[in-house]
C-alpha cells in the first residue's frame, strides 16, 4: 500500500514552454503533498507544501509564479513549471502524507526535466 | 534553520555490516528517518524512529538514536550488492510539517 505515482517520468522541452507534472496517491487519500527538487548528486530541497483545497506554502527562495502548484483533490497534486529555462532542469520528486502531520511521507518515483 | 549532515561516501565489503551516520541540529524533532534512493529513482522509506526511542530493529536494519548528541545511525547487517544506493537521513522537525534531508551517503559494496 501507500503508492505514489508521478507522470511523466521524464520530459524534454524547449526553453520558454510550460511543463506540468502530476503526482497521484494511488491507494490512499493525501491530505498533504510535498514537492522537492534534486540536483545531480545533491540532496532533496523542499520547494512547497500543498494541502488539498488551499494554496500551497512555498519555501523561501522558490518563485510562486514560476512553480505553480495545484492540489485539487485528495489524490492529485500538479506542479507546473512555467516558462521553463535550462536552469530549471532537475529531478522533481513529490511525496504525500495520508493524514495531517502524519509520521510518514510516501515518495513518488520522480520526474526528470530537461529544458533545452 | 535545521541542518542534517552525513558523510558522503561509504564502501563496505559484501557480507559485512554497513554503518551510516547522521547528525542533526533540531532538538525538537519528533521523528527521524532513513530513506534509500537507487539511481534515477525516487525515495524508498526504509525505517524511522520516534524521538523518545533509543533503538529500533527491523530485519537487517538497526537504527540507533542518541538524542543527547543528536546522532542517528543506520546499521545494515550482511550487506548485499542490492544495498548499493544513496541513503538519506531526514528529520521531521517538531510537528511533522516538513522533512529536512541530509546530504546523502553513497554506499558502495565491494565484492
8 Å CB contact between A24 and A5: yes
Greatest CA span in chain A, whole angstroms? 39
Convert the pLDDT of each residue in A34-84 to its tens digit: 999 998 888 899 999 998 888 899 999 999 999 999 988 999 999 999 999
Beta strands in B27-77 (DSSP E): 31-37, 43-50, 55-58, 61-66, 71-76
A110 contacts B45? CB cut-off 8 A: no
User: Are the beta carbons of A105 and B103 separated by less than 8 Å?
Assistant: no
Ranges of residues in chain B whose predicted pLDDT is under 50: none
Tens-digit pLDDT profile for residues A1-11 = 689 999 999 99
- Residue count of chain B, please give it: 111
Query: Which positions ≥6 away from A109 have C-beta within 8 Å?
Result: A5, A6, A9, A93, B41, B42
Q: Using an 8 Å CB-CB cutoff, list residues of chain A that contact chain B.
A: 4, 6, 34, 42-44, 46, 49, 93, 95, 97, 101-110, 112
Return the pLDDT at B97. Answer: 74
For the record, the C-alpha cell of A48 comes out as 512547497
* Mean per-residue pLDDT, A100-108: 83
Neighbouring CB atoms inside 10 A of B3's CB total 13
Beta strands in chain A (DSSP E): 4-7, 10-13, 19-25, 32-38, 44-51, 57-58, 67-73, 76-81, 90-97, 106-107, 111-115
Give the mutation candidate from B2, B8, B38, B42 for the A interface (greatest A CB count, under 10 A): B42
Give residue A90's pLDDT: 95
Bridge partners of A112, per DSSP, are A10, A91
Sheet containing strand A19-25, edge to edge, reads: A4-7, A19-25, A76-81, A67-73
Q: What is the pLDDT of residue B74?
A: 98
Coil, helix or strand for A59? coil
Residue B89: in which H helix or E strand, if any? strand B85-91
Nearest to B49 by CA among B91, B99, B105, B19: B91
Predicted confidence (pLDDT) per residue in A90-101, tens digit? 999 999 988 777
pLDDT at residue A72, as a whole number:
82
Amino acid at each position: 500500500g501507500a503508492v505514489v505515482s508521478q507522470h511523466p517520468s521524464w520530459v524534454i522541452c524547449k526553453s520558454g514552454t510550460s511543463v506540468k507534472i502530476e503526482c497521484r496517491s494511488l491507494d490512499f487519500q493525501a491530505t498533504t503533498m510535498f514537492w522537492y527538487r534534486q540536483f545531480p548528486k545533491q540532496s532533496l530541497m523542499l520547494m512547497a507544501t500543498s494541502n488539498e483545497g488551499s494554496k500551497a506554502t512555498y519555501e523561501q527562495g522558490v518563485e510562486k509564479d514560476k512553480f505553480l502548484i495545484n492540489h485539487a483533490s485528495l489524490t492529485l497534486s500538479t506542479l507546473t513549471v512555467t516558462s521553463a529555462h535550462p536552469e530549471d532542469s532537475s529531478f522533481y520528486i513529490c511525496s504525500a502524507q495520508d493524514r495531517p502531520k502524519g509520521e510518514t511521507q510516501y515518495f513518488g518515483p520522480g520526474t526528470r526535466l530537461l529544458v533545452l | 534553520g535545521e541542518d542534517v549532515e552525513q558523510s558522503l561516501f561509504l564502501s563496505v565489503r559484501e557480507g559485512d555490516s554497513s554503518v551510516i551516520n547522521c547528525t542533526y541540529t533540531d532538538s525538537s524533532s519528533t521523528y527521524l528517518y532513513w530513506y534509500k534512493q537507487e539511481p534515477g529513482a525516487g525515495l524508498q522509506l526504509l525505517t524511522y524512529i520516534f524521538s523518545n526511542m533509543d533503538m529500533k530493529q527491523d530485519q537487517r536494519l538497526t537504527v540507533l538514536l542518541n538524542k543527547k548528541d543528536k546522532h542517528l545511525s543506520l546499521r545494515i547487517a550482511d550487506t548485499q550488492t542490492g544495498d548499493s544506493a544513496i541513503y538519506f537521513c531526514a528529520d521531521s522537525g517538531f510537528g511533522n510539517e516538513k522533512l529536512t534531508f541530509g546530504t546523502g551517503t553513497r554506499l558502495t559494496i565491494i565484492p
